[in-house]
Amino acid sequence: MTFPDKKFSDIGSYADAYFAEWRKAAAGVDRAKLAEAAEILARLHERGGTLWVCGNGGSAAIANHLVADHGKLLAQDTGLLPHVHSLTANIPVITAIANDIDYAEVFSRQLSLNAEAGDALITVSSSGDSENVVRAVQWAKDNGLEVISMTGFSGGRSAGLADVNLHVDADNYGVIEDTHQALMHILGQYLRQGRMSGELVRDRKF
């Protein structure tokens, strides 16, 4: 059964049903996998590695948002200097690769030019099966990067290839993307507060 599976007559009841689906999706995220993802990122930032992130469409927006929250905000009050870059942000580079080579290579080709062994990659993909995302994951795995994949629906190929798969058990793009956005915030905020005193956590806005 998909959501929605019927027509709604008013937006209030649709909102209630949507939020119920979101709560169920959020509750279903594997907390042990979330802890593994946090550990990968903590180790990465401690050793000064670079975090790369990518996605298409709404997931591209989440990837770009992640750069702000895992870069500027994670650096605040923590003593960390995170290196975080979105592979979706540079339109001239993306269009050059897509036009001259193949859209399926827009992320993996950027990784081949800039990433190093010991870096990490986060992919954001509701299907988990977008060809450019899958190729980025495969390149990362072949070249010594740890991979965290955020997926929905059936998980796709990136779920199986990643070191850690944060899967959202839902079949509505909005619900999946909202949960991916929340996971992005949770990871960044958790890592930040972990390097702050209790008093400072209480004093700061997150």
Give dist(CA 151, CA 32) in Å, integer. Answer: 16
Give dist(CA 66, CA 73) in Å, integer. Answer: 10
Q: What percent of the chain has pLDDT over 70?
A: 100
The DSSP element (H or E) to which 194 belongs, if any, is helix 173-194
Assign 134 a pLDDT band (cuts: 50, 70, 90). very high
Quick check: 37 pLDDT over 80?
yes
Could you tell me the maximum CA-CA distance found in the chain, to the nearest angstrom? Answer: 54
In the chain, what is the straight-line distance between the N-terminal and C-terminal CA atoms, in Å?
37
> Following DSSP, what letter does each residue of 151-166 receive, concatenated?
E-TT-HHHHHHSSEEE
Quick check: 3 pLDDT over 90?
yes
Q: What percent of the chain has pLDDT over 90?
A: 99
Alpha helices in 52-172 (DSSP H): 58-68, 74-75, 91-100, 108-114, 131-142, 156-161
Assign 193 a pLDDT band (cuts: 50, 70, 90). very high
pLDDT (mean) for 68-72: 95
**pLDDT confidence of residue 64:** 98
Domain range list for the chain = 32-203
Assign 182 a pLDDT band (cuts: 50, 70, 90). very high
The burial of 165, by beta-carbon neighbours within 10 Å (0-12 exposed, 13-18 middle, 19 or more buried), is given as: buried
State pTM to two decimals.
Answer: 0.96
Token pair for 21: 């689906």
Assign 205 a pLDDT band (cuts: 50, 70, 90). very high
CATH code linked to domain 32-203: 3.40.50.10490
Kindly report, residue by residue over 160-174, the tens digit of the pLDDT.
Answer: 999 999 999 999 999
Instruction: Specify the residue for token string 């001239």.
Output: 92
Q: Omega before 4 cis (within 30°)? A: yes
Quick check: 1 pLDDT over 90?
no
Quick check: 159 pLDDT over 80?
yes
pLDDT (mean) for 50-64: 98
**pLDDT confidence of residue 136:** 98
Kindly report, residue by residue over 80-126, the tens digit of the pLDDT.
Answer: 999 999 999 999 999 999 999 999 999 999 999 999 999 999 999 99
> Average pLDDT, whole number, for the chain?
97
pLDDT (mean) for 34-38: 98
